[in-house]
Amino acid sequence: MNARFRVIAVCLALSSAAPAWATTYAPVSFDELVNTADVIFIGEVTDVRPYPVNTRDGTIINTRVVFRVVDPLWGTSSALEAFDFFGGEWGGVAMGVADMPVFTSGERVVMFAHRARSINPVVGFTQGLMQVGADVNGVERVWTAGGMPLTRPEAIGTQITVTPLLPMRLRDFRDRIATALEGRRR
């Protein structure tokens, strides 16, 4: 059995079991996000590009996501930041991990990330990724990667409950990050 066929067979087996699987990770607090991230920025996804990687065990698929840095908060002065994530679709073959963030060009985010190679550079797997969107009045607001409104930074890493409150404003969240970073040395 050749390596490509084995990879396809494994992917098919995993994809059929995906609904029963869940990715678990330890909760990460706002302070842990701020203090463990190598880079923190507000940005916009400009490119999402899957690519094959040959390993000694066969071919895997990664996806490179490029962000335009709108507001560099920590660890970057670049106009662009690129991060590689495990999974994607290439040549009709899909690979993935349950609950892995999926990005779309044009999407706006607040990103807390590690620079070290891993299957997912987001701190806390998804907890260090916040979505940014405008409300009906044009005010930019913040949601978790799971689509829940972020009402206050202290809610990060706690059990999320449905709330009628509006998500906090992006500028308020940005100010809280900046305040938390004041104690951290560059």
The per-residue pLDDT for 26 is 84
The first and second tokens of residue 158, run together, are: 């706690």
DSSP structural state of residue 23? -
Q: What is the pLDDT of residues 101-121, one digit of tens each?
A: 999 999 999 999 999 999 999
Task: Transcribe 155-171 into DSSP letters.
Answer: GTTS-----SSPPPBHH
Neighbouring residues of 41: CB distance < 8 A, sequence distance ≥ 6: 67, 69, 70, 71, 72, 73, 74, 76, 81, 110, 111
The per-residue pLDDT for 173 is 95
Alpha-carbon distance of 82 to 52, in angstroms, equals 17
Alpha-carbon distance of 55 to 64, in angstroms, equals 17
Backbone angles phi, psi at 168, to 5 degrees: -65, 155
The per-residue pLDDT for 9 is 42
Q: What is the pLDDT of residues 3-43, one digit of tens each?
A: 444 444 444 444 444 444 456 678 899 999 999 999 999 99
The per-residue pLDDT for 7 is 44
Say if residue 83's pLDDT is above 90.
yes
The per-residue pLDDT for 186 is 54
Q: What is the pLDDT of residues 127-181, one digit of tens each?
A: 999 999 999 999 999 999 989 899 999 988 886 555 567 899 999 999 999 999 9
Say if residue 123's pLDDT is above 90.
yes
Alpha-carbon distance of 9 to 11, in angstroms, equals 5
Which helix H or strand E contains 173, and what residues bound it? helix 170-181
The per-residue pLDDT for 159 is 66
Instruction: Specify whether the CB–CB gap between 89 and 61 falls below 8 A.
Output: yes
Backbone angles phi, psi at 33, to 5 degrees: -60, -50
The per-residue pLDDT for 20 is 44
In 3D space, the residue among 143, 130, 155, 122 whose CA is nearest the CA of residue 38 turns out to be 122
